[in-house]
Structure formats: C-alpha cells, structure tokens
Amino acid sequence: MGKLDGKVAVVTGASKGIGREVALALAAEGAKVIAIARTKELVEDTAAKCRETGAEAVAYVADVTKFDQAEQIAKEVTDKFGRIDILVNNAGVTRDNLILRMSEEEWQQVMDINLKGAFNWIRAVARHMLRQKSGRIISISSVVGLVGNAGQANYAASKAGIIGLTKSAAKELASRGITVNAVAPGFITTDMTAAIRQEAKDAALKAIPLAHFGEPKDIAAAVCFLAGAGASYITGQVLQVDGGMAM
C-alpha cells in the first residue's frame, strides 16, 4: 500500500528532470499520475514508466501558458477519475542573460512559462478541489527566488513570484482544506544545470555546506511529503531543498 493510494496527481513539466522524477515518485506511492509536457514522446515515456510501477498514468501534450488547455485537461481528468487531489507545478525554463542584455522576449518567455503557467494550473484545478473540499498544490520555486542570481533576473523574478502566488493561494484556499506550498531546490543535477559553465558549478559547490549537488529524487521526496497526510497542517510554506545553500 502506497501513501497516496487512490489519489489523482497532475504534474506539469513531467517529460524529464525534476518533473519526471516527481511523477515516478508519486506513482510509486500509488497515485494516479497525469503527466503534462510539451514534448509528446518524452511525456508519454514518463507515463509509461509510471505504469511500470503498477500505477495508472495518462500523458497530455499541453502548453502551460494557455489557460484554456489547463481548464480542458482538468475537466477531462475529473470526468475520468472523479477528482484531482494533487497538483505539482513544475514546468519551467531558463533564458539567462544580464539585465542590460536581456531581451523582452527572454524576460517574457520565462515569466509566462514559470509563473503564469503555475497560475493557470492553480486556477484550473482549484474549483475542482474546492468542490471536494481537499487538495494539495505544490509549486517548484528555487533558492534563486529567495536570494537572486546575477544573469537570472527573469528566472529569479518568476521563482520569487511563485512564492508570492503560493502564499496568496494558501490564504484563499485554506478554509476548504486545500494546502498550498512551494519547494525551493538548490543546485540539482538535471539537463538544465548541465548547460551551466564549469566555473559557475565550482563556485556553486563551494556555497553548499553539504558539499554536493542534489538530485531530482531529493525534490521528489519533498513533494511526496507535502502531498501526503503527514503534511496536512502545513500550508503557505517554502521548503528549501538545497544542501544549506541559502540558509
């Protein structure tokens, strides 16, 4: 018996990295997983891997910046499974540049996917969770949203925005038994961080008291905790999973 048996979990950005690991961890705990991403082959592979754990899993190709797509999928999921218990807002991108060189497009694309995408999905699932008087909403922020980072003004602003959105949604939805929290990863080994220059990685490592980078499974474990019964009295919080990087 998994801790999330019978629960229905929606995970955005589920094609690789943290999102894929979160989807697999939720499936391993018995949740029915709705995997969402833009790349058909990758998100279908995530759903297939979830099914290998014995869980039900469905893949959807969608753009998180489109509210109508979020609304339609949320309706289809509730029509099929009768409920949505868990939402994990993980979809995110980076378009790094110094402020003086950053284009409007680089700014807007990051804000649209990282922040507007989370808003779209919270809005889409909230009405279903309000009806059932329960739910867990977990959004992936970043320690960069807490401390900033040179060359990442757009990313830092979007992840700081996730924290404000989380706290506001937590206050709005608490009376109906819905908790809303954020996880703020530090330096996690993924395809996204693999593109970072070695000098920057070396500098980041020196700033981590635990002296090693995290892995997607570390974030997945935090998400599973916040999604479970043991976190029922936790809302409006930001859980840093960063090896002490941003104490």
Q: Which residues are catalytic?
A: 155
Backbone angles phi and psi of 64, in degrees to 5: -65, -15
Give the CA diameter of the chain. Answer: 54
* Paired tokens of 100: 């003086």
Question: CA nearest 82: which of 131, 24, 136, 25?
Answer: 131
Residues 68-104 as b/e (b if ≥16 CB within 10 A, e otherwise) read: ebbbebbeebbeebebbbbbbbbbbebbbeeeeebee
Residues near 108 by beta carbon (within 8 Å), at least 6 away in sequence: none
User: Distance between CA 238 and CA 70 in Å, rounded?
Assistant: 24
What angle separates helix 117-132 from helix 153-173, to the nearest 10 degrees?
10
